[in-house]
Amino acid sequence: MTENKSTGDSFGQRLLNWFDQNGRKNLPWQNPREPYKVWLSEIMLQQTQVKTVIPYFNRFLEQYPSLEKLAKASLDEVLSLWSGLGYYSRGRNLHKTAKIIIEHYHGQFPATENELVQLPGIGPSTAAAIAAQAFNQPAAILDGNVKRVLSRYFQIEGWPQRADTHQKLLSIAKQCLPSKRFADYTQAIMDLGAMCCTPKKPACSHCPLQSDCLAYQNNVVNNYPNKKPRKKRPIRYQQFLLLYNGERQIYLEKKPPAGLWGGLWCLPSIEAKDCPITFILKNYNFTSHHQAHSLMELKHSFSHFDLKISVKTIQINHSEFHINERPGSWFSQDQLRRIGLAKPISLILEHWYSSIAI
């Protein structure tokens, strides 16, 4: 940090003064700031915006108002509520952590960063956010909003996800902590990034840090934080097989816990070059002569690649369908509402049920 920059109480006090007048104080996990609610919100907020999280958070809290109730729920029930929020490992880790806290911490949330970071799904920044907001500990968070604020204010060179840049930002974040009101400060710096220091069209005229923000002074705000070096995004192609019977039940298979859509129910999938009927003959002892029909095509984006999906429908006769040791089951339309489905699967099934209702 440069010597002429204000740090600690000066930086923090300006943020707190701004927060007292402008910050978000009525988010559903703030009043009161209970460890369970703070933890639940922080897990949901990983890679997801507040406006998206709020309805999911409210539904979760209604269904599981306490850590004990969440720990007693089945993983399928948890993933069903999580369906559509994405990054499903968060839902699985949420369930694991609830059980661990009940069994190993007697239902009491650990209050320190070092303890919190040992729990599934809680990285250093999330641990700091929980410690600061639930227990008012002097912990420095470093989520996307904070990285953007600090990168601009101190005009930090380098992509924030790069190891050396990340460590530099973390060191600065710790130095910027005030001497009190850690919970409010944590919310303040996140709010500043969400409300003023936004990725596009930042509202610098409303920012309490504008007077000595280096990026602002040098008229390069939109250049910070530095962007990730561009790399061509890979595309993968798959066919999803929508197998249905005369009772309009759908056949789904449960994904293994690890990997994409882990623990969720999905349609069987094959490579784009493979023949659906040949696959079914080999894997399900299917002897009928129904043809595969194209239903729809869609694209789903993961964090590191895009998946282009071609959906084929095939009618199955129960008497001709024998599963060869595959983790699958038949579901009615009503039962589908109570299991965890990947978002593309929900969209496909909604489209299919709508098409056969015409």
What CA–CA distance (Å, rounded) separates 19 from 187? Answer: 8
Structure tokens at 253: 């298979």
Nearest to 77 by CA among 90, 63, 66: 63
Alpha-carbon distances of 81 from 49, 164, 181, 212, 349, rounded to whole Å: 18, 38, 34, 45, 17
Q: For residues 10 and 19, is the Cβ–Cβ distance under 8 A?
A: no
Q: For residues 189 and 12, is the Cβ–Cβ distance under 8 A?
A: no
What CA–CA distance (Å, rounded) separates 190 from 212? Answer: 19
Active site residue 253: no
- For 42, residues 6+ apart whose C-beta sits below 8 A from its C-beta are 126, 129, 130, 133
3, 42, 157, 247: the catalytic one is 42
**φ and ψ of 99, to 5 deg:** -65, -40
What CA–CA distance (Å, rounded) separates 209 from 230? Answer: 30
What CA–CA distance (Å, rounded) separates 188 from 193? Answer: 9
What are the residue numbers of the active site?
42
